């Protein structure tokens, strides 16, 4: 049976007390019912709360992730955070290329690729987000966007390094809108993405790469999305901010995986 991977992206939400309470609440649930044999789990708080959440998670089954990183290792880059700093505070995962970074903050495929390669070089695990805008889907360009995000985002990555890469397909029109891709739409996009990964890295590697779905995942729709053969987990925004909602998704994933 495949082991699916569910990560929570807290975005720019919560405060220190709320971050600690959310992490503690999830740990409590897992102490009652350990899902770690069935699924991999991570949460990605804002940078400033990483140490607080790391302390709450301790050595439990939920891994710590960051929402972004800068590609340079150190130096005069005011306001930026390096891979070494993230590793130093206990991060194992780093989201790169989230649609909000691409479309609100103006990140390019080239910058995203540099970040992804820096994460790999630093020994951490990148989660590369890809996905089309509504207009791109309506114009029939979904596959072209997926292909471009994968080919540019994963340029100069060796097949062996792909063991540490997760891809998250997040159609932008489904993020934070309450409008989820149907399981069929998700499966179609994931299957296409896996085909590109196969061209890039070969069939064995492509088969092992986990492709998460993201975009308005909730307890009520998580299972049927994750039951799709090429959907290997979820990247969850809004519903990862409440213990019961995120737990509902983890529980559904554990059963559907
Ligand atoms: P959402 O966000 O679950 O709130 O739609 C998903 C994401 O942006 O990762």
pTM summary value: 0.98
Residues with CB under 6 A from ligand 1: 9, 170, 175-176, 214-217, 235-239
Six-digit token string for 177: 């809108």
pLDDT score, position 2: 83
User: What number does the ligand 1 atom closest to the CA of 215 have?
Assistant: 5
Question: Which residue's C-alpha comes closest to atom 6 of ligand 1?
Answer: 237
pLDDT score, position 1: 59
Nearest of 38, 33, 44 to residue 7 by alpha carbon? 44
Q: How far is the CA of 19 from the centre of ligand 1 (A)?
A: 17
User: What number does the ligand 1 atom closest to the CA of 129 have?
Assistant: 9
Q: How far is the CA of 75 from the centre of ligand 1 (A)?
A: 32
pLDDT score, position 64: 98
Six-digit token string for 206: 């492509």
Residue 130: phi, psi to the nearest 5? -135, 160
The residues annotated as belonging to the active site are 98, 170
pLDDT score, position 59: 83
- In the chain, which stretches have pLDDT less than 70? 1
Contact 130, 168 (CB under 8 A): yes
Exposed / middle / buried, residue 79 (Cβ in 10 Å: 0-12, 13-18, 19+): exposed
User: What number does the ligand 1 atom closest to the CA of 99 have?
Assistant: 8
Domains along the chain with CATH numbers: 4-256 (3.20.20.70)
What are 210's strand-pairing partners?
166
What are 212's strand-pairing partners?
168
* Residue of 238, 239, 249 to test ligand 1 pocket, by largest number of atoms within 8 Å of CB: 238
pLDDT score, position 257: 80
Question: Which residue's C-alpha comes closest to atom 3 of ligand 1?
Answer: 237
């Amino acid at each position: 049976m495949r082991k699916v991977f569910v990560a929570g992206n807290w975005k720019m939400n919560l405060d220190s007390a709320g971050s600690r309470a959310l992490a503690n609440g999830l740990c409590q649930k897992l102490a009652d019912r350990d899902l770690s044999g069935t699924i991999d789990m991570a949460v990605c708080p804002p940078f400033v709360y990483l140490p607080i959440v790391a302390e709450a998670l301790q050595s439990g089954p939920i891994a710590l992730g960051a929402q972004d990183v800068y590609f340079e290792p150190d130096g005069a880059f005011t306001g930026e955070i390096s891979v070494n700093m993230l590793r130093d505070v206990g991060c194992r995962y780093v989201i790169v290329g989230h649609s909000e970074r691409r479309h609100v903050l103006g990140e390019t495929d080239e910058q995203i690729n540099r970040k992804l390669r820096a994460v790999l070089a630093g020994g951490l695990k990148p989660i590369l987000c890809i996905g089309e805008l509504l207009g791109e889907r309506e114009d029939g360009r979904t596959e072209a966007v997926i292909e471009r995000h994968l080919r540019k985002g994963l340029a100069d990555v060796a097949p062996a390094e792909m063991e540490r890469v997760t891809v998250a397909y997040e159609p932008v029109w489904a993020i934070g809108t309450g409008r989820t891709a149907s399981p069929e739409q998700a499966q179609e996009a994931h299957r296409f993405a896996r085909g590109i990964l196969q061209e890039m890295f070969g069939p064995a590697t492509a088969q092992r790469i986990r492709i998460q779905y993201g975009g308005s995942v909730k307890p009520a729709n998580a299972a049927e999305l994750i039951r799709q053969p090429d959907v290997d987990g979820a990247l969850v925004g809004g519903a990862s901010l409440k213990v019961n909602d995120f737990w509902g998704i983890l529980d559904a994933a554990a059963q559907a995986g």
